[in-house]
Every structure is written in structure tokens, then in C-alpha cells.
Amino acid sequence: SLTEKGVICAASALSPAFASAVYDSKSSLQKTSLLLAALLLEVRNPKYGVNDFSLLEPTVVLRDPRLSAAAHKEARIFGFKLVEDHDPDFDMTALVGNFANGIGLRDREKNYRLSGGPNLALKAGHDAPDALVVFRGDHRTATGVIHQYISLDAGLLRPVLKQRALIVKELVYSQERRAFSAVQREVFGSLVLSETRGKPDSMGDFAEVFYRLLEKEGISILDWNEKARLLRERISCLKAAMVTDETLIKAIKVYYGDTLKDPGQIRIADVLMSMVKPSLRKQIQDLDEKRFKLENGRFARIRYEKDGRIIVSARVQDFFGVRHNPVIAGVSATAELLSPAGRPVQLTSDLAGFWKSGYQSVRKDLAGRYPKHKWPTDPMTREIK
């Protein structure tokens, strides 16, 4: 069943928001001004020239027989007598409660950010009050135009907004300073009423807020040291775990949970290892990050590529006696053979095939450029010691 307010507003010809605002207004003076503003919005007759309803003169409007008749009818429905005195002080609580998306605060450029989201501006030549409530505007451009509104006293409006405001806690990351700061905002819709900044550890629910920031900004905000970067590449290349940005973020949330109090607490390498199957962890840990011992006893450098390849790189002479591509943790690596000067001369995933069909032409070229080095016709002559 309808409440008394519901019955009265349903009987009114005004829009639900205006009917509710008229009902909620405290005095007959305020009710009269708001009622006439609602009627003028519906009429949209340019002869009244009213844009800012805080300047509305009831006496002038009520001279119009049609508007006067409609106003008296509505006043009887709401149970008050029309007052012809001018009252610029509208009931803030009634306006905010019923036009929550139309409240606007002026910025430095004299535009208005509305609580409902869009940015609007007054037409040129209009005074720009500190605050207003918009009833009609054009939203078709980036900064739309306000056509009809009520000017409000920002000093009186802010306490009403604060009573209905939400407290939003957010963690902000500065790419320039490589630092985090805690931000607490008091907001009414899209309007920021106040903002305070502090250290991340000042946030009681830091972990939850940090995880939201991590999902928004991505893993680049984490402290990626060389060890963590190489480990991620190694795990991915060895297919020891599915490490994507999304799976890593999930792993961080599982690993630290609610215990996270500071971004510096995160050890990416530890999280990465937690993503690896227990049966493979020791194998991953035992691998040298940068060196690999070839089957002939010599050492080659390891490089883990983003495309998933493992590159084992050494001079051609260091590969003599190595019959097949190195296998690292069950994955066949690509052999990169270098000249004595360290320049790549061959990249192959089939080392045995290279020795059989490609080595002799490479040998001739290298022997011509590096005659002081030995270039045997049989690359297997250097046996494993």
C-alpha cells in the first residue's frame, strides 16, 4: 500500500522527482518556488526567460492564467497555500534527495562536474554560482550546456552532501616516483568532496585495496628484480607452470592473502615458485640461472626467450663433441653457435643435422676469417673428457 507521500505524489501531474521534492520541502515558500519551477520546465515558454530558477519571481509567473490554475491545483493536492514572495533559498535536503544525479560543483574552468557523471557548462554570459542543481541540459557534446537550473549556496550544500557521502579508500601508484600512497576520498556520486593522502601502511584494509590496484594497473607496478625476471622466463620456457599476468596476480593474492601490509613485502620469486608443481621445484631451483654444462664438460650461457625458446649459447669450438641439442629440465634447447668474436653464426634446433649438412660450409667461412683457430673437419673429434 502507498504511503501518504506516495498517494499525494501519484495524484500530482508533476514528474516523480519534482513531486517528491515539493512534498519534502519544509516551507510553503520553498514549495511554491519549486512547484513553479517544475511547471515552467514543462511549459518551456521563452517569454518567461527563466534559466536560473533561484531568480524566479512567483508573482510574475502566477499572472499567467494557465500556469496559475495549474499551480493552485497542485498546491491543493500537496496541501499548502501558494506564496508570492521570492525565496532563493531552496530546501537543500529535498533537492539533494530527489535530484541526486543533477547536483553540480563548479571547477576552476567554471564548468560543472555533475554527481551523475557528465561535465556541463553554463551558456556564455551567465553568472557561474559555486553550486547548482541541473534540471535540463544538452549532453551531446564533450562539455554539454546547462539550460535550466537552480543556483545553490555551496556552503549550505556541502554539509547535506557529506551526510550522504561514501568513504572510498584507494591505493595510488606513481610511475614517476615508483611509490605508492594511500588516498581516502569522500564522494557523492562523481563529486569528490574531500581527499586525504597518507602512507600505504595507514590503510587498515591494505591488502584488499592493493589487489584492486594490481588488477587495474598490472604487474609492472611490482618490484621486478633480475632474479624474478629470469625465474619467470625459466618457468615459462620449461612449461613448469602457466605464468600469465592474470595467473601471477591470482597467485600473489593466494600467497599473501590478508597478511599483506606493504608492497615491499612481496617477493615475486617466492610467488613464482609457489606456482610450480612441487615435483618440479627442486629441478627449477637447481638450474643455474645463466649457465649450463654441456655434455663435453664446457659451459654455455642460457637465455630464456619470451617466445618460449631456451637458447644455449657458446662458441662453435665449445660445441665440438656435442652431438645433440642440450636438454634442460626435459625441454630441448636451441643451440646458438658463436664465432670466436662472439657473433652468432648458426641458430639451430637440430644440432646433429647441422653437423652433418651445414657445418662444413660454416667451417670454411670461419677458417678464412679466424685462421689462428683450429677448425677440424670432424666436429666430433673433441671427445668428452
For the stretch 230-277, pLDDT in tens is 889 888 888 888 999 999 999 999 999 988 888 888 999 999 999 998
281 & 302 share domain: no
Q: How far apart are the first and last CA of the chain?
A: 96
Q: Is residue 281 part of a domain?
A: yes
Q: Is residue 383 part of a domain?
A: no
297 & 279 share domain: no
Q: Are 336 and 347 in contact (CB under 8 A)?
A: yes
Q: Which grid cell sits at 125? A: 554570459
Q: Is residue 125 part of a domain?
A: no
Q: Is residue 149 part of a domain?
A: no
212 & 185 share domain: yes
Domain that holds residue 197: 164-217
274 & 296 share domain: no
301 & 354 share domain: yes
Q: Is residue 354 part of a domain?
A: yes
Q: How many domains does the chain have?
A: 4
Q: Is residue 237 part of a domain?
A: yes
Say how far apart CA 168 and CA 186 lie, in whole Å.
Answer: 6
List phi, psi (to 5°) of 185.
-115, 145
180 & 236 share domain: no
21 & 89 share domain: yes
300 & 259 share domain: no
Residues in the chain with pLDDT < 70?
A: 44-50, 87-88, 141-142, 201-204, 288-289, 382-385
Residue 384: predicted pLDDT: 38
276 & 306 share domain: no
Say how far apart CA 274 and CA 341 lie, in whole Å.
Answer: 41
Say how far apart CA 181 and CA 204 lie, in whole Å.
Answer: 13
Q: Is residue 235 part of a domain?
A: yes
Q: Is residue 116 part of a domain?
A: no
The residue out of 184, 217, 250 marking a domain boundary is 217
CB atoms within 10 A of CB 86: 15
The residue out of 234, 257, 286 marking a domain boundary is 286
The residue out of 260, 286, 312 marking a domain boundary is 286
8 & 91 share domain: yes
56 & 73 share domain: yes
